[in-house]
Structure 1
């Protein structure tokens, strides 16, 4: 293999994102890649940036298949697929194993293994930070839309029915986005990730306060 691992993984990953919805497309993978490298630059730990970069590009290649119900867990599937792809390109076994560990441990599922390497922790944090801040609000709203109506889940209601006069409902309101973001920010592993998470959460609190005013909870001024 003569090509650098990060650019190689990018090239290999792009066809898998052709059918992806906006929240988990190649632009998301690229943002996670850039943010993870930024966090690595701010961290005192030694980081294999080529492994990290490759894992960020490949971590969500199974999302379209998971969404269509063809596979159950995109992280496990992506780890196996990444192994096949990188073996074909004659990437060394140790680096393939490192990339696979990052991919396997990036999920927030309770059954997901814990990230044990600096690269895995950075991928996890960068991916979770995509749910926070201004960009995170937009991205989480996209996910709400993606899941609306699936298996009876009507997530698209993000208003407060008690204020608007609508009939009461057990559907989630804007607190769903708040809960999703907080859940992810509470799980961050790295010190630079937690610092950035704190900053982004501060913005989100201001946003949620403004949202409440606009629907009449506190009275918009």
Structure 2
């Protein structure tokens, strides 16, 4: 079974074809892959995880927008993995902690989230490996996952309280308007039915107007 890896970079389209692990092929001898600063976009091909002899991979400074493939955990000889300055999202696969030869790991300036995996070589990476990912938490960055969780819950709770306050205010205005309309309709009905009551009401209004004029003069 052959493995096909295809790339489009700088208005070029290349296809590398290698054989399976039981026979020799071009990809069996690939120890390094550098496609940095090529304006690549889309998802990272999961098939890159089949390049079992890779020791270094640099896909930085592109426009790759996907999660980090779990298949990278098969790159047992990987020593350097640079995925910085892309638009990667999702979590960092915990399976990558099984890469015991990984000495350099850089996923800075992406959109990765949730807790940073711990164990193996990941215990040796510094904060610089994760800069520019505001949704990441846990060591080695100075951002507690518990604090992040509490902040999200507070934001959600605050949003619910704001919604409830808006609903209560709308109910208050609606009840007030309904009461005023009902009172006005009642007065108009009484004025139309009972002439004596209407005359009394008009006299009261005239007296109020006269009193107001005298106070203002």
**TM-score w.r.t. structure 2 length?**
0.27
Larger Rg over CA atoms: 2
**TM-score w.r.t. structure 1 length?**
0.26
Q: Report the structure, 1 or 2, having the larger strand content.
A: 2
Give the structure, 1 or 2, with the largest relative contact order (CA under 8 Å, sep 6 or more): 1
